Amino acid sequence: MSPLGAFFTYAALGVWAFVCLFPLYWIFVTSFKLPIHVNDGPVYVPFVDFTPSLHAWEYIFVDLRNDTLRPYLNSVVVALASTCLSLLVGSLAAYALTRVTYRVSLGAVGLFLALLAATVVAVVLAGVPWWLAAAVAIALLVLLLRALAGRFRRHLGNDDILFWMISNRILPPVVAVLPIYMMFQKVGLLDTHLALILTYAAVNLPIVVWLMRDFFATIPYEIEESAQIDGAGRFRIVATIILPLARAGLAATFLLVLILAWNEYLLALFLSTADAQTMPLLVAGQNATRGPQWWYMSVLIVLMVAPVVALAIALQRYIAKGFLVGAVKG
């Protein structure tokens, strides 16, 4: 690299590093500011142009104490549990989609949709109880599938299953959240960890399947074949050979999905009111009637970002490698 080229490279990288860091720096110093420092125009460096104060940290940790701690623990529990669940379910499905050729007959899908439509009509228009309609529909589906098995010739393949999974991610949460709210209300799980865990797991599942499929696709099939000859079953192969080999991909996917679950706001807004409230709600909650309480908000944002940064640095070497493998096949 020529000296001039090196200069411009580092200049560009330096500028972008500044762009990335400055907003975070600003949030960080704001957490040590008094309201007067914020409202009377910008002050930049603690100890130089203003005296830092711990009042916001005191408020968050002493005055609010349990009202900070509870959402924080909720966030940790919900993010970790939902990430683990979607990673487990999603990687098994992703593995299956790379190793097994599924043939979903188009007729069966059509039958399923037709019966679903009939159920909806029966419930909405004819007032049949929903459990009765669902039971009849499921029984009919099983019977008809048995009777018609082998009649359907057109099939959907793995790519179609994959696209169906991804397409679930396109429906905007604003539209889906009210029915999900009604579902959890029906089973009495509103404002519980379980509701958030299940919802986040389902919402992030397509991303897991998509990313993990690429990681699994790069593992050569021969490794499994030799284990199969030794008599190892499929689940043993997955647990002892495949998952360890894909740990880089698992780490990268884990981090990405964890970040999504940790930061999610809209679904939490609907599904949790008090007991299961998560951190993003607390951050938004600092926008009081007196206007946003920037200093409290900043403390909470710092508290939210810190563990993720620590985790990302810890997983850094996996991520670098992880995305690398996953990205090859896209």
Nearest-angstrom CA–CA distance, 287 and 266:
16
Nearest-angstrom CA–CA distance, 131 and 104:
27
Contacting residue, 60, 122, 297, 299, with another protein by CB under 8 A:
297
Contacting residue, 7, 36, 40, 135, with another protein by CB under 8 A:
40
Nearest-angstrom CA–CA distance, 327 and 74:
33
Contact yes or no for 82/261 (Cβ under 8 A): yes
Tokens of 312: 């990302």
Establish if 182 lies at the interface with another protein (CB under 8 A): yes
**CB of residue 8 vs another protein: minimum separation in angstroms?**
9
Among positions 81-100, residues that touch another protein (CB under 8 A) are: 89-90, 92-93, 95-97, 100
292 forms beta bridges with 287
Establish if 329 lies at the interface with another protein (CB under 8 A): yes
Among positions 158-177, residues that touch another protein (CB under 8 A) are: 161, 165-176
Tokens of 113: 């949709």
Contacting residue, 78, 271, 279, 299, with another protein by CB under 8 A:
279
Contact yes or no for 274/257 (Cβ under 8 A): no
139: left (phi over 0), alpha (psi -120 to 50) or beta: alpha
Contact yes or no for 180/65 (Cβ under 8 A): no
Tokens of 4: 């001039």
Among positions 104-133, residues that touch another protein (CB under 8 A) are: 116, 120, 124
DSSP secondary structure of 163-195: HHHHHTTTS-HHHHHHHHHHHHHHTT-TTSHHH
Establish if 323 lies at the interface with another protein (CB under 8 A): yes
Establish if 324 lies at the interface with another protein (CB under 8 A): yes
Among positions 6-35, residues that touch another protein (CB under 8 A) are: 6, 9-10, 12-13, 16-17, 19-24, 26-27, 30
Among positions 232-251, residues that touch another protein (CB under 8 A) are: 232-236, 238
Query: Residue 317: in which H helix or E strand, if any?
Result: helix 316-329
**CB of residue 313 vs another protein: minimum separation in angstroms?**
6
Establish if 209 lies at the interface with another protein (CB under 8 A): yes
Number of residues that bind another protein (CB under 8 A): 101
**CB of residue 209 vs another protein: minimum separation in angstroms?**
7
Establish if 38 lies at the interface with another protein (CB under 8 A): yes
Contacting residue, 31, 82, 199, 253, with another protein by CB under 8 A:
199
Establish if 144 lies at the interface with another protein (CB under 8 A): no
The interface region with another protein, picked from 49-57, 62-70, 140-148, 205-213 by CB under 8 A, is: 205-213
Q: What are phi and psi of 259, to 5 degrees?
A: -60, -45
CA–centroid distance for 72 within its chain: 17
Contacting residue, 135, 226, 265, 314, with another protein by CB under 8 A:
265
Establish if 229 lies at the interface with another protein (CB under 8 A): no
- Residue nearer to another protein on the CB measure, 114 or 202: 202
Establish if 205 lies at the interface with another protein (CB under 8 A): yes
**Half-sphere exposure at residue 187, Cβ-oriented, CA atoms within 13 angstroms:** 10
